[in-house]
Structures are given as structure tokens and as C-alpha cells.
């Protein structure tokens, strides 16, 4: 199975390289014959050769690791209670909300973007953060993608979401659960994942509920498996999340005031320490602002015992544990201009001015397609965050369409427009490092649990067929 995957992977990568090159040629032709007035796909001023205003450049300055972690020894760390390698199928990830995997037989139908053009995105194998912008914009040889060890190069094709993103030096990500990485039971998931995405985040397996379900006993196995998959498919990984009021074991919420601080410190040191050097970033603190934007989330166990100081404390602990990882604050409902985004802005501005090690903000983008945040507001919000010197990441995109009027086709057309318009805001800003969907397929999405059926929030349908949203995302990254 492993050899077969590598063989497919190699062939796909070769194909991918050709596609990217032809796109570069097309881009050059448009510039030459259009006298530079009209940029071809992936050829906007943002992606001009030599452009340096990229979050990857920022990472190079501070030696952050945009690296897929090719040297994957995570499961052999010391101090890991259950650190041995196990087959992927054995690791459930301890996620009670995981939907039962139904059997999916057969490959994707012909024409499905999941069916053929997989390839490995280029990664910063040198771990110096300096590579990706050049890959997308130079006409020179593409650097080797060595993560799978075959010595060949290859970026994902330009007609994939990640390949399109890379033409501008951006990245396309998604959230994964460990049990969906078992290509024997869910083959389409890994195929689409490796084809369309070049960065991943653990949907659950790096949260407290998995990593320290029992006090003092750490389980890194499911997270290690995600990192291992990523490293074999030339993908980077962001950690999610060190400190959140949800997905907490009962023992944490029962802690006394005196215990919370030391337990928090120890958790961050152990978890971020275990994956030190293997993640390009962490969502350090998640959703610390109240749902209505009235202030801090006062119901959080961390806020109740430590006050808002838990936020600064967490960032400092994360930086100490993994100095190379970019550190993000992540929240939802703070995409446009509203009370909540104002609170998020104030929080990160104050952290930054106090010298707290924060590098970026993740905006989740769990969007109701019937009431999306106004695009002009999102643009203004992005610009004020970027003006603070922060990187921005669209961290958990899904767009629900149950309340969108019209037929299914009309709902999906609206969804395509929204995916396009939202991603275009990221594509237009070099400091928007990446855009990630919160899952791949409508078959497996937390929205089905949270909001019920009919929302169809993700880019691929329950049969892993590309919905119109996929073309919308690709167009957006290509500046169309």
C-alpha cells in the first residue's frame, strides 16, 4: 500500500510540475503581450517575482518552521505515555463526536478533482521559511519536494485549490481527523486531501481532550499520525489548540484556583514541547472573547481562575516550548466589523504592544450563507489586523446554505460565490498566509452535528465530488 501510494504520488507530482510550469509560461506571455497591464492567472502584482512581503518571509526572519516535518520521530519522544507507533486504524483520536464512517467503495468518478491530479506541494524542506514564494513566482527550477523521499520535485497542479493558492505564495488547508486518514477504509478522503490541500490542522486530536484526557498522562499518538501523513504528502501542520474552554476533560474543569496556572503551564510545555519543530504554527488560545462580543468569555475555567492574564501566560508558555512556531489567537464571528471583532482587535493589539509573543490571528469563517459578513467589513478588519504587524489565517471555513433561498443548484451557486469572494480577500493580501476549510466533505462535518442536515458547508459533496465551490476557490486564488 505504501509503495503503491508513493508510485502514484510520484507520477502525480510530475504532472503537477508541468501544470505549474505551463501556468508560469502563460503568466509570462500575458505580461509580455499585454504590456504588463493585465495579469494572467497567478500573475498579479501580489505574486510578482521577487515579492518579499509574504508571511513566509516573516517566518524566515524569525526562523519559524514552515516545514512538513520530514524527520518524523514524534512518536518516539520520551515522556510520552502512549508514544509507540500503531496502525492508523487503531487510533480513534478519542473524539466522541466523530461520525461513524460508512463504507465508501470505488474511486472518485471520472472528472472528480479527487480522482487524478494529486501532487505534492512544495514545502520548505530546508526549514528556513524562504522557499515557497519563489516557487510560485520564479521561472527557475522548482526546488525538490523531499518529504516523501523520492527526490523528485512537484507542486500541486494549478487546477487544485492548493496549487492555485501557491501561485500567489498562499496555502490551502483543511482540518482532519486521524481515523479519516486510513486510506483503506476511506480512500477518497486521503486522495482529495493530498490533491487539494497543502496544510492541515487537527480537527480534534491536538486538543486537551486527546492530549491530556487523564491528568499527567499525555497521548500524542493521533496527533503524531496527522503529522506523519502530512510529512509524507508535503503538507505543513498547524497545531490546534492549546487553550480552549471546550474539549476539556472533566478533571480540568474541576481544578482549584491554585492548580489551574501550573496545570496550564505544564500542558503547554508538554504538548507544544512534544511537537516542537514539527508544526509551523499553533492556535495558542481559542475563542477567549464572549460570543456576543461583550468582553472576555467569563465562563472559561481559565478566565475564572486566572482572569485575562491566562492569555498572555499561554502565549509566553507556547513560545518557550516551541520558539519556532508562529503563535495565533483564533476566534469565530470576528470576521467582519462588529462588537466581537472589535474585542479581538483590542485584545491582540494590546498583546502585541505589551510584547507578548503573538504572530497572527485566525478568523474561523463558520459562515451562514444567508447572512455572510459584509465583504467590505472583512477587508477592513483584515487590514487593521495586518497593520498591527500580524499574519492572518482563515482558519476554519465552512459555508452553510440551508437558509439560502432557492434550489439546491442555486444554493450551491451562492456558496461558490461566497467561497470565491472570501478567499479572494485572502489572496489579495500577502499577509494572509492561508485559508483552511474545516473539513473536506459534506459527509463528515461538525456542522451536521451542530446545525443539523441540509447545510452542505464544505467544498466536496458526500461522494467526494467537487461542488461549484471548488472552482470558486481556485478562481479566487488565481485572481479571476
State the catalytic residues. 287, 396
State which residue, 153 or 287, has the beta carbon closest to ligand XIL.
287
Residue 141 Cβ vs ligand XIL, minimum distance, rounded to whole Å: 39
Residues 204, 329, 460, 477: which binds ligand XIL (CB under 6 A)? 204
375-383: Cβ within 8 A, 24+ apart: 375/421, 375/422, 375/425, 377/335, 377/336, 377/337, 377/338, 378/335, 378/336, 378/422, 378/425, 379/425, 380/337, 381/334, 381/335, 381/336, 381/337, 381/341, 381/345, 382/425, 382/429, 382/432, 383/429
Indicate the residue among 166 and 248 with the shorter CB distance to ligand XIL: 248
H/E element holding 202?
Answer: strand 199-202
Nearest-approach distance from CB 383 to ligand XIL, in angstroms: 24
Complex with ligand XIL: residue 20 or 363, whichever CB lies closer: 363
Exactly one of 198, 203, 322, 398 binds ligand XIL (CB under 6 A); which one?
203
Query: What residues from 20 to 79 belong to the interface with ligand XIL (CB under 6 A)?
Result: none
Report how far residue 361's alpha carbon sits from residue 381's, in angstroms, rounded to the nearest whole number.
Answer: 11
| Cα(391)–Cα(238) distance, integer angstroms | 14
| 3-class secondary structure, 258 | helix
Q: Return the residue of 190, 195, 225, 247 that touches ligand XIL, per CB under 6 A.
A: 247
- Rule CB under 6 A: say whether 286 interacts with ligand XIL: yes
CA 199 to chain centre: 5
- # residues near ligand XIL by CB under 6 A: 10
Query: Of 52, 73, 97, 102, which one interacts with ligand XIL (CB under 6 A)?
Result: 97
* Residue 70: how many other CB atoms lie within 10 Å: 18
Measured from the CB atom, the residue of 66 and 438 that comes closer to ligand XIL is: 438
**Residue 444 in the binding site for ligand XIL (CB under 6 A):** no
| Site track for ligand XIL across 337-366, x = CB under 6 A | ---------------------------x--
Binding residue for ligand XIL, selected from 229, 394, 446, 477, defined by CB under 6 A = 446
Q: In which region does residue 415 sit, left (phi positive, over 0), alpha (psi from -120 to 50) or beta (all else)?
A: alpha
- The cell numbers describing 113, all together, are 478533482
CB of 280 or CB of 477, closer to ligand XIL = 280
CA distance 113 to 117: 7
55 alpha-carbon distance from chain centroid = 14
Whole-number Cα distances in Å, 130 to 16, 126, 276, 384, 442 = 21, 8, 19, 26, 35
Is residue 437 at the binding interface for ligand XIL, with CB under 6 A as the rule? no
* Shortest spacing between CB 452 and ligand XIL, in angstroms: 15
Nearest distance from C-beta of residue 358 to ligand XIL, angstroms? 17
Cα–Cα distance, 142 to 124 (Å, whole number):
12
Our finding on whether 396 is near ligand XIL (CB under 6 A) is: yes
Q: Which residue has the closest beta carbon to ligand XIL? A: 446
Which residues here bind ligand XIL, judged by CB under 6 A? Answer: 95, 97, 203-204, 247, 286, 332, 364, 396, 446
Amino acid at each position: 500500500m505504501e509503495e503503491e501510494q508513493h508510485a502514484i504520488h510520484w507520477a502525480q507530482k510530475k504532472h503537477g510540475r508541468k501544470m505549474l510550469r505551463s501556468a508560469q509560461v502563460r503568466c509570462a506571455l500575458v505580461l509580455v503581450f499585454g504590456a504588463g497591464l493585465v495579469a494572467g492567472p497567478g500573475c498579479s502584482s501580489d505574486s510578482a517575482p521577487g515579492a518579499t512581503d509574504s508571511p513566509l518571509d516573516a517566518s524566515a526572519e524569525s526562523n519559524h518552521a514552515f516545514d512538513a516535518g520530514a524527520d518524523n520521530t514524534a512518536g518516539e519522544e520520551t515522556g510520552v505515555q502512549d508514544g509507540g507507533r500503531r496502525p492508523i486504524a487503531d487510533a480513534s483520536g478519542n473524539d466522541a463526536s466523530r461520525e461513524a464512517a460508512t463504507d465508501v467503495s470505488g474511486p472518485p468518478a471520472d472528472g472528480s478533482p479527487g480522482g487524478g491530479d494529486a501532487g505534492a506541494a512544495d514545502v520548505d524542506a530546508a526549514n528556513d521559511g524562504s522557499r515557497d514564494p519563489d516557487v510560485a513566482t520564479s521561472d527557475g527550477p522548482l526546488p525538490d519536494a523531499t518529504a516523501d523521499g523520492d527526490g523528485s520535485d512537484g507542486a500541486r497542479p494549478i487546477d487544485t485549490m492548493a496549487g492555485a493558492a501557491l501561485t500567489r505564495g498562499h496555502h490551502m488547508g483543511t482540518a482532519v481527523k486521524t481515523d479519516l486518514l486510513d486510506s483503506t477504509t476511506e480512500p477518497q478522503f486521503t486522495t482529495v486531501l493530498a490533491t487539494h490541500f497543502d496544510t492541515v490542522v487537527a480537527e480534534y486530536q491536538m486538543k486537551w481532550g486527546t492530549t491530556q484526557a487523564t491528568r499527567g498522562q499525555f497521548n500524542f499518538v493521533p496527533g503524531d499520525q496527522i503529522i506523519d501523513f502530512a510529512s509524507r504528502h508535503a503538507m505543513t501542520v498547524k497545531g490546534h489548540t492549546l487553550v480552549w474552554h471546550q474539549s476539556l476533560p472533566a478533571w480540568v474543569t474541576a481544578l482549584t484556583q491554585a492548580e489551574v496556572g501550573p496545570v496550564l503551564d505544564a500542558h503547554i510545555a508538554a504538548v507544544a514541547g512534544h511537537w516542537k519543530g514539527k508544526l509551523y504554527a499553533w492556535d495558542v488560545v481559542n475563542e477567549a472573547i464572549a460570543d456576543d462580543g461583550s468582553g472576555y468569555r467569563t465562563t472559561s475555567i481559565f478566565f475564572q481562575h486566572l482572569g485575562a492574564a491566562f492569555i498572555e501566560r499561554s502565549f509566553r508558555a507556547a513560545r518557550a516550548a516551541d520558539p519556532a512556531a508562529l503563535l495565533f489567537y483564533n476566534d469565530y464571528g470576528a470576521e467582519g466589523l462588529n462588537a466581537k471583532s472589535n474585542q479581538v482587535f483590542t485584545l491582540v493589539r494590546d498583546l502585541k504592544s505589551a510584547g507578548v509573543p503573538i504572530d497572527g490571528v485566525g478568523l474561523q469563517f463558520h459562515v451562514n450563507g444567508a447572512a455572510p459578513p459584509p465583504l467590505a467589513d472583512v477587508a477592513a478588519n483584515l487590514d487593521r489586523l495586518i497593520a498591527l504587524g500580524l499574519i492572518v489565517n482563515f482558519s476554519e471555513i465552512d459555508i452553510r446554505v440551508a437558509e439560502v433561498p432557492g434550489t439546491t443548484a442555486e444554493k450551491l451557486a451562492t456558496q461558490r460565490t461566497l467561497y470565491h469572494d472570501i478567499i479572494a480577500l485572502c489572496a489579495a493580501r500577502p499577509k494572509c498566509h492561508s485559508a483552511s476549510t474545516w473539513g473536506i466533505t459534506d459527509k463528515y462535518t461538525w456542522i451536521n452535528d451542530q446545525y443539523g442536515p441540509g447545510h452542505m458547508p464544505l467544498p466536496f459533496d458526500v461522494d467526494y465530488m467537487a461542488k461549484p465551490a471548488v472552482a470558486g476557490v481556485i478562481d479566487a486564488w488565481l485572481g479571476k
